[in-house]
A = this chain, B = another copy of it.
Amino acid sequence: MTEVSTAERELGTAFLPRFDANGLLIAIAVDSESREILMVAYMDAEALQKTRETGLAHFHSRSRGKLWLKGETSGHFLRVEEIRVDCDQDALELLVKPEGPACHTGARSCFYRRLDGDTLRKFIP
């Protein structure tokens, strides 16, 4: 593996995704219209490749230890319209068009509660 300089990674035009010790990076899915954060998950190299090939968000399920096409059972796919990369290339922002609620609970976003003192309050039905 070629050594990549910090400057190259942060200021360059080459996509050099930086996977952590477990081979993962963070992927944040954001609704391309409302700009609401829908969900956060991890991608390994395979999930990233499949996402880029198909235009559908794929993640790596840590609990199941395998590739996970978001929507494979629910039909609630996330169509990826744009991929943004952070400074050190260990996190991606996916601008997506969701085909249904992004959360397995049925909420449109996984972030449906906010902290109010020590209590969580639901603000998305």
Interface of A toward B, CB cutoff 8 Å? 10-15, 26, 28, 30, 35-37, 39-40, 82-88, 91, 93, 103-105, 107, 110-115, 118-121
Contacts and interface: CB of A to CB of B under 8 A. Distances in A.
Given A105-B11, A115-B15, A85 B40 contact: no
Copy count, this protein chain = 2
A120 B15 contact: yes
A10 to B, nearest CB: 6
A120 B14 contact: yes
The 9 closest A-B CB pairs, nearest first, are A86-B110, A83-B115, A84-B111, A87-B110, A40-B91, A84-B114, A35-B35, A13-B120, A93-B111
A40 B86 contact: yes
A47 B120 CA distance: 19
